[in-house]
């Protein structure tokens, strides 16, 4: 820990001054963190059990906490930061039962901003005064937050279809607003929107493909397993976060399994209803995509 505390490459953009820290300070921090119920600090270690960095949840109160991370220079670009981030966010929601986690970063910290943005964390615009007060006198900050139910570890594609991150603006402890615009955020004009609701748990639907229709599918509420099959193979993805959608732009067979009753599947489609565009027979579909 002390080596990164004295490494400008790590601390250069951090608010706290670590340069005066001593080995005794680092030892005291580790010792006190074992019994600290207001803050959770975890070491990120390599498979060989070498210390790589620290991830933290600070100021745990009222169902929320502030996330912090610092990894050693030697650990940067090697996946340790993402591993530690996923682990502690998993603990925040699953073990501590928090409703939200927030954090901020200096806008000059290009590496950290790229790290958060490439993992699709959402920028937050509305931060409570009590939190801002801790950063009084520091401006030029970019704020992020995660709310319980946000999915942060998902594939980029499923059966070759793109997994889309619908633009989302969280408000701390007050939900999220998600939005997409035809032709701007998805690559087609929208002629039709439909949604499937009031479905009991365990029901399967779909069982068809479209020859030409392009669609964006997302789960507005609940949990739905989406199974897709096309020339790239057959794969499944669980949709449970309204800000994650799947863009289908080639002939793809789809089946949906309702994992939770009353889950709502929403579809934005590129054209009006056309019964001739449907393939409802799986054998016929296989022949169709085989050309
Ligand atoms: C922020 C931090 C946790 C990220 O971990 P990491 O292992 O460095 O992250 P990654 O390498 O996976 O991602 C960093 C990305 O930024 C890019 N990057 C590196 N330097 C950059 C720069 N100067 N400008 C823009 N992007 C930069 C990397 O190329 C990489 O992007 P890529 O995967 O598309 O190539 C780590 O760098 C760190 O601990 N920094 C010091 C402490 C800190 O800033 N903490 C965060 C405070 S909020």
Instruction: Specify whether 167 is located in the same domain as 76.
Output: no
Query: Does the CB atom of residue 180 touch ligand 1 within 6 A?
Result: no
In a domain, 152, yes or no: no
Burial of 103 (0-12, 13-18, 19+ CB in 10 A): buried
pLDDT for residue 289 is more than 90: yes
User: pLDDT, tens digit, for every residue of 63-75?
Assistant: 999 999 999 999 9
Give the C-alpha separation, 40 to 167, whole Å: 30
Task: Identify whether residues 129 and 9 lie together within a single domain.
Answer: yes
> For residue 167, is it within any domain?
yes
Cα–Cα dist 128/3, whole Å: 34
The residue that leads in pLDDT, 127 or 267, is 267
Closest atom of ligand 1 to 13 CA is 44
Q: What does each C-alpha distance from 125 to 132, 133, 150, 258 come to in angstroms?
A: 12, 15, 17, 34
Q: Which residue has the tokens 């009031």?
A: 198
Total number of domains in the chain: 2
% of the chain residues with pLDDT over 90: 93
Tell how far the Cα of 114 is from the centroid of ligand 1, in angstroms: 6
What do you get for the CA distance between the two ends of the chain, in Å?
59
pLDDT at 267: 98
> Does 194 reside within a domain?
yes
In the predicted model, what is the mean pLDDT of the chain? Answer: 96
- Co-location of 81 and 164 in the same domain: no
Give domain status of residue 101, yes or no.
yes
pLDDT tops 90 at residue 152: no
Question: In ligand 1, which atom is closest to the CA atom of 72?
Answer: 39
Structure confidence by residue, pLDDT tens digits, 157-212? 999 999 999 999 999 888 999 999 999 999 999 999 999 999 999 999 999 999 99
270 belongs to a structural domain? yes
Q: Do residues 143 and 169 both lie within one domain?
A: no
Mean pLDDT (whole number) for 226-236: 97
Alpha carbon of residue 180 to chain centroid: 17
Catalytic residue chosen out of the listed positions 165, 208, 232, 282 = 208
CATH of the domain at 50: 3.40.630.30
Query: Is the C-beta atom of 71 inside 6 A of ligand 1?
Result: yes
Residues 56 and 120 occupy one common structural domain: yes
- Mean pLDDT confidence for 29-54: 96
**End position of a domain, from candidates 124, 147, 170:** 147
Q: Tell me what pLDDT residue 161 has.
A: 98
pLDDT at residue 125 is higher than 90: no
Determine, yes or no, domain membership for 266.
Answer: yes
Same domain, 64 and 197: no
Cα 28 to Cα 21, 23, 121: the distances in Å are: 11, 9, 33
Domain holding 214: CATH number?
2.60.120.10
The model's pTM is 0.91
Supply 289's token pair.
């995509």
Instruction: Report the atom number in ligand 1 closest to the C-alpha of 109.
Output: 44
Do both 73 and 206 map to the same domain? no
Same domain assignment for residues 214 and 137: no
**How confident is the model at residue 55, as a pLDDT?**
98
pLDDT tens, 38-47? Answer: 999 999 999 9
193 within 8 A of 236, measured Cβ to Cβ: no
- Cα 76 to ligand 1 centre (Å): 7
Quick one: 60 and 111 in the same domain? Answer: yes
Q: Is position 282 annotated as part of the catalytic site? A: no
For 260-284, write each residue's pLDDT tens digit. Answer: 999 999 999 999 999 999 999 999 9
Q: Which domain holds residue 198?
A: 157-290
């Amino acid at each position: 820990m002390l080596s990164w505390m004295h490494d400008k490459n790590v601390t250069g953009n951090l608010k706290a001054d670590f340069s005066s820290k001593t080995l005794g300070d680092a030892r005291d921090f580790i010792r006190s963190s074992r019994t600290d119920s207001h803050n959770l600090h975890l070491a990120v270690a390599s498979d060989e059990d070498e210390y790589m960095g620290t991830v933290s949840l600070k100021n745990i109160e009222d169902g929320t906490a502030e996330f912090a991370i610092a990894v050693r220079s030697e650990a940067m670009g090697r996946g340790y930061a993402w591993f530690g981030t996923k682990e502690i966010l998993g603990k925040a929601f699953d073990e501590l039962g928090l409703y939200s986690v927030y954090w901020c970063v200096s806008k000059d910290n290009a590496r950290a901003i790229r790290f958060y943005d490439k993992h699709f964390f959402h920028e937050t615009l509305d931060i409570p005064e009590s939190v801002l007060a801790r950063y009084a006198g520091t401006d030029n900050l970019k704020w992020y937050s995660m709310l319980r139910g946000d999915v942060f570890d998902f594939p980029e594609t499923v059966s070759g279809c793109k997994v889309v991150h619908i633009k989302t603006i969280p408000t701390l402890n007050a939900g999220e607003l998600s939005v997409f615009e035809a032709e701007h955020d998805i690559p087609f004009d929208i002629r039709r929107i439909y949604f499937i609701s009031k479905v009991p748990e365990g029901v399967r639907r779909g069982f068809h493909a479209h020859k030409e229709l392009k669609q964006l599918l997302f789960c507005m509420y609940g949990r739905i397993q989406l199974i897709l099959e096309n020339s790239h193979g057959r794969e499944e993805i669980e949709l449970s976060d309204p800000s994650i959608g799947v863009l289908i732009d080639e002939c793809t067979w789809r089946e949906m399994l309702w994992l939770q009753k009353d889950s709502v599947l929403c579809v934005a489609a590129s054209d009006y209803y056309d019964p001739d565009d449907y393939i409802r027979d799986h054998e016929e579909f296989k022949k169709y995509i085989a050309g």
